[in-house]
Chain A
Amino acid sequence: MSWNEQMEQATKAWTDLQRTWWERWMPAAGETAGTGDGLWSQWLEGWRRQMARSLETWARGRPGLPPQVVRSLFAGEEVFFRFVAFVSQMLQSLAPQIEAGEDWVDLLRRYVDQIKKDLEENPLRWLPTAQGTATVAAELPGLWRLWATEAQKMMAPWMESTREAGGHLGEAMAGDRRAVLKMMNVFWDTYESTLGRFLAAPAIGYTREFQEKAARAYETWVDVQRAQAEFQAEVTNAGVRAMETLLRELVERAEKGKPVTSARQLFDLWVSCAEKAYFEVASTESFAEIQGRFVNAAMHYRVHERQIVEAFARTLHLPTRTELDDAYRHMHELRREVKALRRELDALREARAAQETGPKKPTVGARRRGRAKAAGAGKTTANEAQTEPTAPAEAGPKQEG
């Protein structure tokens, strides 16, 4: 199948999905904020599946296409679509009341309040659930995902609570506003009441040292989860503010008689509001502290993780990161020393050569300044007065050209 045919097929499938969605959506007119989101989610999910299938076929035999470019593009598109969905839903919800002559500013404010409440109660609701946006969102805490994957190996005794928490994650995706908190609470409660207490106790026996390391590593992993949740809450806080900023901007536009006339225009306005609101939150001391705690917790975890890995490496007669770093440090110190000695040697050689051949010919700059001084022209700085033609203190091993 040619690319064009595939594209046509994908577009047709997508259009069909839209029609289906549209038909289902229309009866939902007048729903309050949020309650109709399930339909959009289904539509987006359907679209995503279609696109994934189509792209997978298409990308075969096209090695020149960087996967991250495609991911970023489709992630961007999905965010845009979700935004269009949100706006359409909002308008659909408000239109009858506006037409009935209600004050739209008040209506919008109430709508935004509803969303804020939604966000506060269920932050995951506005986080991406489909693969595309997940890619974008994963960039934020994505740095830690590899470590988190590794850390899951230490989670074996905790599978039960993880499964339970996972159930709540499912609830969260399905729209239960309290699910995220439940999820975190299950995990922390279990940890605090059992392993947390156990880990805090001193280890004993032949494997004491290793136990101790594993315990500390696990504790730091828990710290990372806590700090990440706290950080995510702050980012959500910025999202709440963004809605308020958007509302203010819309009111201003209405007053100036400059309505927004396209989804893209509204999307750009929303991004600009989101960025402004984010900056306000991100430039506070409390955000910096929370972000710092998140990053620092992750770093502590990483250090502890390495200690465990190194304990295993030693048992397998493998060199460790610490040992290699130590070797590199010695190499670095030696290199510095060699360079310093070489500079000194070069300077001595040049001094001796100068003694043997008489005074060194001045460089162009020195000659020019000499002439200027002789003529009594220009301002002479302290540096110039001190300048003598210096012996080149070249340090490097190779000079080309």
Chain B
Amino acid sequence: MFPIQITPDEAMREAVDFHRKLVRGLDSIVDIREIDVAPTPKEVVYREDDVVLYHYLPRRKRPCKVPVLIVYALVNRPYMVDIQEDRSMVRNLLEQGMDLYLIDWGYPNRAERWLTLDDYINGYIHSCVEVIKRRHGLDRINLLGICQGGTFSLCYTALHPESIQNLITMVTPVDFHVKDGLLNIWSQHLDVDTMVEAFGNVPGEFMNWGFLMLKPWQLMVQKYVGFVSVLDDEENLRSFLRMEKWIFDSPDQAGEAFREFIKEFYQGNKLIRGEVELGGRRVDLKNITMPVLNIFANEDHLVPPSSSKALEKVVGTQDFTTLSFPGGHIGIYVSSRSQRELAPTIARWVKERV
């Protein structure tokens, strides 16, 4: 049997239908003036430079006594965890009785070009942790680090173990030399010194270019072809546009921090070897002796599961839990399954340990 059973006139009809849908659907886009994101109510509790610490208003009368601080990546914006009401890890965790804080790194401008990883980790994260401790009269809080924010959380916890009760890492790169991730392979040949000299801050558009190049056909072509089929459904259309906004809402990366992250972590793979130094102190993951929950997405093309799984063998804790979640790097926050399962799992794990 010949494997393609399409006649030319059917193909043409399909193309005409496609075009008709697209043109008609454009009116639906015009009607959507605002793309609203991050719907969960929150208050500003602390500012330092351009960094803002938010506290989400609890949704239970007596939330968990030990709050959770979410540390997101510097790449892209943290509202991915609260992209819309029915796809919100934040909202789901609040429903489970968690008390949540989130660090918003802002959009570094040229004056912030000299910010280092030490500034981010021993500076901003430390300040936020101290503020939360003081607000709650605690000497330890829970930390939930996401992606690069997970790597930062590992560094912070290794350097300040006395401040962290439980550590949760999500889709977090740990072994940067695993060979099943394109970013790991590509970054080895980057002259990051010249890049930072050329750019100052590394532009968000440049970062996006790199991410799109990981799956160019899916992300630059197929996605928009598929989009046509949701044009006549307002809710789906809004969800699509929110995701588009998030993808392309990319802050620039502070030059020095970017240089360090590429050289020390991606190229040198020093985290796993215990050779990273921040503020004159060595980051020793063996210092992480509190309970750790490590969550990874088993189809993650940005942070391969093998990179995250490497954590188990390098931390000092005896209480290590691994959670493999179906889907990709973003699906872990927005998929229907994650809405049902992820937050309850995290909340249960935390509550058993506070």
Contacts and interface: CB of A to CB of B under 8 A. Distances in A.
Interface stretch (B3-11, B86-94, B325-333, B335-343): B3-11
Nearest to A68: B248
A222 interface: no
A288 interface: yes
A7 B23 contact: yes
B14 A364 contact: no
A363 B130 CA distance: 13
B1 A257 contact: yes
A92 B49 CA distance: 65
A266 B4 contact: yes
A259 B2 contact: yes
Given A389-B139, A392-B134, A288 B185 contact: yes
A104 B2 contact: yes
B115 A392 contact: no
A283 B3 contact: no
Contacts of A76: 221-225, 227-228
Contact of A291 (B3, B186, B194, B199): B186
A139 B209 contact: yes
Contacts of A263: 6, 10-11, 14-15
A117 to B, nearest CB: 22
A394 B131 contact: yes
A266 B14 CA distance: 12
Interface string B103-135: 000000011111100010001001100110111
Interface in B209-228: 209, 212-218, 220-225, 227-228
B323 interface: no
A104 B2 CA distance: 7
A87 interface: yes
A81 B218 CA distance: 16
Interface stretch (B40-48, B76-84, B146-154): B40-48
Contact of B228 (A73, A262, A331, A383): A73
A72 interface: yes
Could you tell me the dominant secondary structure of chain A's interface residues? helix
Contacts of A259: 1-5
Interface stretch (A178-186, A204-212, A272-280): A272-280
A75 interface: yes
B217 A291 contact: no
A376 interface: no
- Centre residue among B65, B182, B198 by max chain A CB count within 10 A: B198
Contacts of B162: 383, 386-387, 390
A195 interface: no
Chain B interface extent, by class: 35 or more
A383 B48 contact: no
Interface in A328-387: 328-329, 331-333, 335-336, 339, 363-366, 381-383, 386-387
- Centre residue among B4, B66, B140 by max chain A CB count within 10 A: B4
Contact of B6 (A14, A15, A262, A366): A262
Interface stretch (B24-32, B167-175, B307-315, B344-352): B24-32
A22 B33 contact: no
Contacts of A62: 30
B188 A299 contact: no
A127 to B, nearest CB: 13
- Centre residue among A250, A253, A293, A383 by max chain B CB count within 10 A: A383
A22 B12 contact: yes
A328 B5 contact: no
Nearest to A108: B3
A1 to B, nearest CB: 14
Interface of B: 1-8, 10-12, 14-16, 18-20, 22-24, 26-27, 29-33, 43-49, 55, 65-66, 110-115, 119, 123, 126-127, 130-131, 133-140, 161-162, 165, 179-180, 182, 185-186, 188-191, 194-195, 197-200, 205-206, 209, 212-218, 220-225, 227-228, 241, 244, 287, 289-290
8 closest residue pairs by CB, A with B: A292-B189, A76-B224, A396-B48, A302-B198, A332-B114, A254-B3, A401-B45, A250-B3
Given A261-B5, A325-B113, 6 more contacts: A11-B23, A140-B209, A324-B110, A364-B137, A365-B139, A365-B140
22 contacts: A11-B19, A66-B29, A76-B221, A84-B11, A84-B15, A91-B4, A254-B2, A264-B225, A267-B222, A282-B182, A288-B188, A295-B195, A296-B194, A302-B199, A328-B111, A331-B111, A381-B290, A383-B289, A394-B127, A396-B46, A396-B127, A400-B46
